[in-house]
């Protein structure tokens, strides 16, 4: 009896803490699945035949392109539904993608925090997303309207990962979460809670690793989102070969060695931040990656523009 009371109290606690949005169970019926939430509300998934296409116009365009053979399925068990087979380097056209494809559609920042690492090359690998500093437990929200495709632990480095496929045809990844608050097939609106920020998977220090992908291929989130002003840069995105890196391989697993300063101790993180130089680094690259300038780096480290930086050396970033 005591146990039951404790259990129901903890349920009450969870539902009041997490805005009553936490899915507690999914019931599969012959007519569709029903997601039950902790606040006793439920969502019925009618479309048993859902093929994963949320932007039919875009999908018809890309799948009709010869030699491209882009694959996109609807699978809640795997990260990349093309099984890493989509090769965007063969993409010879330009597609006009309406990021805000409906007057009613909004954009909401997944988390409003400081960027600690940008998209691009680092330490011999590509960083496929952008890192946003947060404290474990901070709320992480869906960027646009869409449908949750994947919501579970990922052993490939993402930790607790939520992937949302959006009505505009893009997918967004939200990684290293401490808690997942949505279930696959659940419809979400821009700004809806997806989970709580954390430090799970290949992560050193709490942060949100956020990715934007087009048919499995990562692209720089800053092509679309103005992180400083917290808005979409444009209602449209011109999708062409050049926005994907050459020989784009969606497998390049990210690593998070640069997030040393991105711990929950924000007071320390905001004063001083250091970075250990790795193979392939130069001042321009380090500056770009940390959202600073070469002259600022020179000033902080008392070095000149032409200084050779040695691998393994610690450079002060801010």
Footprint of Zn ion (CB under 5 A): 131, 209, 254
Which strand (E) or helix (H) includes residue 4? helix 2-17
Identity of the residue, 36 or 109, whose beta carbon is nearer to Zn ion in the bound complex: 109
Query: Least distance from C-beta 203 to Zn ion, angstroms?
Result: 8
Question: Is residue 260 classed as helix, strand or coil in its secondary structure?
Answer: helix
For 190-254, give the DSSP string: TT-EEEE-B--SS-SSSEEEEEEEETTEEE-GGGTEETTTTEES-SEEEE-GGGS-TT--TT---
Q: Hey, which residues does 195 pair with through a beta bridge?
A: 140, 180
- For the bound state, the minimum distance from the C-beta of residue 44 to Zn ion, rounded and expressed in Å, comes to 35
Residue closer to Zn ion by CB (options 42, 121) is 121
Which of 176, 173, 179, 241 is closest to 213 using CA atoms? 173
Nearer to Zn ion, 165 or 289 (CB): 289
Q: Residue 147 or residue 290: which is nearer to Zn ion going by CB? A: 290
Shortest Å distance, C-beta 127 to Zn ion: 6
Q: Considering the complex, what minimum distance in angstroms separates the CB of residue 159 from Zn ion?
A: 11
Nearer to Zn ion among residue 149 and residue 209 (C-beta): 209
Least Å distance, CB 254 to Zn ion, is 5
Q: For the CB of residue 257, give the shortest distance to Zn ion in the complex, in Å.
A: 10
| Whether 84 contacts 216, CB under 8 Å | yes
- CB closer to Zn ion out of 20 and 124: 124
CA distance 260 to 209: 14
Strands 159-166 and 217-219: unpaired
Query: Looking at beta carbons only, is 185 or 262 nearer to Zn ion?
Result: 262
Shortest Cβ contact with Zn ion: which residue?
209
Based on its alpha-carbon atoms, the radius of gyration of the chain, rounded to whole angstroms, reads: 21
Nearest to 274 by CA among 314, 215, 234: 314
Confirm if 135 and 266 have CB atoms less than 8 A apart: yes
Closest CA to 119 of 301, 240, 252, 261: 252
Whole-number minimum distance, CB 2 to Zn ion, in Å?
A: 44
């Amino acid at each position: 009896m005591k146990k039951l009371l404790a259990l129901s109290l903890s349920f009450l606690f969870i539902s009041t803490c997490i805005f009553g949005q936490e899915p507690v169970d999914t019931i599969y019926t012959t007519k569709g699945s029903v997601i039950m939430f902790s606040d006793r509300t439920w969502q019925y998934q009618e479309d048993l035949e859902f093929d994963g296409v949320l932007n039919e116009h875009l999908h018809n365009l890309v799948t009709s392109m010869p030699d491209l053979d882009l694959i996109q399925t609807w699978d809640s068990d795997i990260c990349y539904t093309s099984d890493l087979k989509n090769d965007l380097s063969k993409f010879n056209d330009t597609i006009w993608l309406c990021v805000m494809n409906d007057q009613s559609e909004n954009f909401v920042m997944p988390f409003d925090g400081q960027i600690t690492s940008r998209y691009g090359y680092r330490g011999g690998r590509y960083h496929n997303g952008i890192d946003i500093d947060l404290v474990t437990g901070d709320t992480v929200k869906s960027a646009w309207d869409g449908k949750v495709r994947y919501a579970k632990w990922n052993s490939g480095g993402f930790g607790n990962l939520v992937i949302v496929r959006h009505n505009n045809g893009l997918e967004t990844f939200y990684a290293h979460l401490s808690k997942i608050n949505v279930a696959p097939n659940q419809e979400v609106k821009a700004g809806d809670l997806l989970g709580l920020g954390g430090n799970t998977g290949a992560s050193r220090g709490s942060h949100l690793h956020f990715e934007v992908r087009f048919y499995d291929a990562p692209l720089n989130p800053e092509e679309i989102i103005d992180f400083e002003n917290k808005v979409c840069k444009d209602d449209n995105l011109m999708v062409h070969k050049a926005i994907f890196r050459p020989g784009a391989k969606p497998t390049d697993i990210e690593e998070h060695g640069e997030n040393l300063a991105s711990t929950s101790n924000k007071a320390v993180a905001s004063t001083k931040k250091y970075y250990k130089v790795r193979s392939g680094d130069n001042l321009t690259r380090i500056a770009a990656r940390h959202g600073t300038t070469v002259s600022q780096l020179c000033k902080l480290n008392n070095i000149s523009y032409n200084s050779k930086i040695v691998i393994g050396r610690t450079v002060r970033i801010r």
